[in-house]
Amino acid sequence: MIKKAVILAAGRGTRLQPLTSDTPKPMIPLLGKPVMEYIVEHLVRQGISEIMVNTSHFAHRIEQYFGDGRRFGAHIGYSFEGHLKDGQVVPEPMGSAGALRNIHNLGGFIDDTTAVLCGDAVVDIELQAAAAIHRAQGAIASVITREVAEKDVSNYGIVVANANGRVASFQEKPTPHEALSRQASCGIYLIEPEVLAHIPAQGVYDIGSELFPALVHQGVPFFAQCHDFEWLDIGRLSDYWQIVQRMMQGGVAGVALPGQLVRPGVRVGLNTRVAWDSVQIEGPVFIGSGSRIDAGCVLRGPVWIGSGCHIEAGAVVERSVLFDYARVDAGATACEALVSGTYCVTSDGCVEQVNSLQDSQRWWGDARQSPPTTMLNPRSIKQSWRNWHTTF
């Protein structure tokens, strides 16, 4: 039985800009809690309670939120990657394999079979069962894969394995025509301490693009395991929107909406104010604590409304996510959007962004159109000065 895991949480998450402009990717909220919290909870359910996390960009947000892990039933430690310059902390990620080297070099953490997971996906894989297969094969490293549709192979690293599962090669985001398999690496690995000897003593070094090809070249016991499990990978803005919609519709086993059920498909947090006599609500909808929904509003789910939000009279919100302290103007429409104080993102990943807080912080209902030249029939979205990420 494995007891240890490493969560990789030092990346910049550039493909998720602007969500990650000042928030680390593992702290992006899903139904009110960071994606990494789902990972920690799953590890604990699997009997894995000793967890090291490598951090770099906005490391303090992760460390302050998770602390020593006691409230999750875990023991959590951190390995910061960076240095001090002129009294300032400068992030300096060492790559995913470099992170393993740094963690082990400090105190010998990786002294037995260890699970390694990227900190940006919700998964429910049976890790102990995967570890049993890993050991039975005599592997020093195993990569967990999941079969994806042919049209999706270009979004992932594709693993090519022989008939007994031994890894033969990798393809980085091949076209469907070029792909030699449909087995996508899920960013979940099982490693033995022997793997560390294959990581250079210094410098930036990556697992997928450098360590694993080196293991294949050297002919060591390196295997792929294909499993059918829930894998919600937040790689792109459109992925994030789709995952939130699916979670709210009950499409993810073991994930339930928070709050109190007050109407079919409608849940609310504490101390909300809703003009129930005149609003139209089609679930699933969650209204966060301290939020206010004025008369004549229409909410068509799936809709997530964060804490402290204000939806003014006559506004329409459809299939959208409003981060904490968002405000939708009277008569405005937010449709299939992620809304924050400095950006609005449509479901297909189109981003509109203001340049400074001195702008009106006003978002027009369709981010793909220019705002009207007059204030007649406004369809705008705006947010107070406080950004959603400050809650973390």
| pLDDT exceeds 90 at position 237 | no
- Paired sense of beta strands 351-353 and 343-346, if any: antiparallel
Of 18, 77, 88, 84, nearest to 53 by C-alpha is: 77
Helices (H), the chain: 35-45, 59-66, 96-107, 127-136, 212-218, 237-248
Q: What pLDDT does 301 receive? A: 94
Main-chain dihedrals φ then ψ at residue 28, nearest 5 degrees: -60, 130
Whether the CB-CB separation of 258 and 286 falls below 8 Å is answered with yes
Would you state the pLDDT for residue 251? Answer: 83
Question: What is the predicted pLDDT for the residue at 201?
Answer: 95
Task: Report the pLDDT value the prediction gives residue 351, as an integer from 0 to 100.
Answer: 75
Residues 139-190 pLDDT 10s: 999 999 999 999 999 989 999 999 999 999 988 889 999 999 999 999 999 9
DSSP 8-state secondary structure symbol assigned to residue 15: G
pLDDT in tens, 356-376: 333 333 333 333 333 322 222
| Mean pLDDT (whole number) for 238-247 | 89
pLDDT in tens, 33-53: 999 999 999 999 999 999 999
For residue 341, name the pLDDT band (cuts at 50, 70, 90): low
Residue 13 pLDDT level (bands cut at 50, 70, 90): confident
Work out the average pLDDT over 349-357. 55
Q: What is the pLDDT of residues 60-89, one digit of tens each?
A: 999 999 999 999 999 999 999 998 888 888
Give the chain's length.
392
Listing DSSP states for 133-184 in one string gives HHHHTT-SEEEEEEE--GGGGGGSEEEEE-TTSBEEEEEES--TTT-S--EE
The Cα 363–Cα 381 span in angstroms is: 4
Give the model's confidence band at 266: pLDDT under 50 very low, under 70 low, under 90 confident, else very high. Answer: very high
Q: Are 62 and 24 in contact (CB under 8 A)?
A: yes
* Structure tokens, 55: 């951090």
Statement: the pTM of the whole predicted model exceeds 0.85: yes
Domains of the chain, each with CATH number or no CATH: 4-235 (3.90.550.10), 248-391 (no CATH)
